């Protein structure tokens, strides 16, 4: 059964705690936290303080996605703030292997993300060090973007690579995920679906999350 990780990037920050609690009550599996620095991506979002504030609000794992340059400088602080999983971008650091080791030594699970135009070959040498492989299906930086169709073929190739090198790794897809494509993403190998607008973009969080889960299991 696929996991659903609502992204708080699309939540109402004036009611963030309430929306996270609503997502947990509705059956969310993880809470996805998008950290952006205005340098690696053209947007600035949140940091340690938000992660620390969310930790007592929910029992769900906090899935922290670092879209920042030199993430190795900050991963330990995010783990100390309460992150259960920390994902860094292969494009953001020259020290991928060292950064993954830092995440694990700090006590969190380690993830690696690739942007839509980044070759999947980057995963080959580090897949054995990963708990999570994150495939971006939009260009990172903003919520509410349209899914890039070619991501489906990339997902199939990543799934095949995972089966060959480390079947224990979960594949997460982030960007443009909703009820219309959830089942196809799962069929092609996704284990974790990140959804922001589809959950928090309007209407009741519980109903939106239920619709997404029903679609993913269809």
Is residue 38 part of an annotated ligand binding site?
A: no
Is residue 197 part of an annotated ligand binding site?
A: yes
CB-CB contact of 171 with 127 (8 Å): no
Is residue 65 part of an annotated ligand binding site?
A: yes
Q: Which DSSP category does 7 fall into?
A: B
Q: Which residue has the tokens 């504030």?
A: 53
With b meaning 16 or more CB within 10 Å and e meaning fewer, what string describes 58-85?
A: bebbbbbbbbbebbbebbbebbebbbbb
Interacting residues of 5 by C-beta distance below 8 A, sequence separation 6+: 28, 29, 30, 31, 32, 63, 172, 192, 193, 194, 195
CA 158/CA 165 separation, integer angstroms: 10
Catalytic residue among 29, 131, 174, 191: 174
Catalytic residue among 34, 37, 131, 191: 34
Catalytic residue status for 34? yes
Query: How many helices and strands, by DSSP H and E, does the chain display?
Result: 8, 8
Catalytic residue status for 29? no
Is residue 32 part of an annotated ligand binding site?
A: yes
Is residue 201 part of an annotated ligand binding site?
A: no
Is residue 7 part of an annotated ligand binding site?
A: yes
Is residue 63 part of an annotated ligand binding site?
A: no
Is residue 189 part of an annotated ligand binding site?
A: no
CB-CB contact of 106 with 167 (8 Å): no
Is residue 196 part of an annotated ligand binding site?
A: yes
Annotated binding site for a divalent metal cation: 32, 34, 65, 174
Annotated binding site for substrate: 7, 65, 141-144, 174-176, 196-197
Annotated binding site: 7, 32, 34, 65, 141-144, 174-176, 196-197
* Residues involved in catalysis: 34, 174
């Amino acid at each position: 059964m696929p996991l659903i990780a609502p992204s708080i990037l699309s939540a109402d920050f004036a009611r963030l705690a309430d929306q996270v609690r609503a997502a947990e009550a509705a059956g969310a599996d993880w809470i996805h936290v998008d950290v952006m620095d205005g340098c690696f991506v053209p947007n600035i979002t949140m940091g340690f303080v938000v992660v620390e504030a969310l930790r007592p609000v929910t029992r769900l794992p906090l899935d922290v996605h670092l879209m920042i340059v030199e993430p190795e400088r900050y991963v330990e602080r995010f783990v100390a703030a309460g992150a259960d999983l920390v994902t860094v971008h292969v494009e953001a650091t020259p020290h991928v292997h060292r950064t993954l080791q830092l995440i694990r030594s700090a006590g969190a699970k380690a993830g690696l993300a690739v942007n839509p135009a980044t070759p999947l070959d980057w995963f080959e040498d580090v897949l054995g060090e990963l708990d999570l492989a994150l495939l971006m299906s939009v260009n990172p930086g903003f919520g509410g973007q349209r899914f890039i169709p070619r991501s489906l073929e990339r997902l199939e190739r990543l799934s095949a690579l995972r089966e060959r090198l480390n079947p224990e790794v979960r594949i997460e897809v982030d960007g443009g995920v909703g009820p219309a494509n959830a089942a196809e993403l799962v069929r092609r190998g996704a284990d974790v679906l990140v959804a922001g607008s589809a959950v928090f973009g309007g209407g009741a969080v519980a109903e939106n999350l239920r619709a997404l889960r029903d679609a993913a299991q269809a």
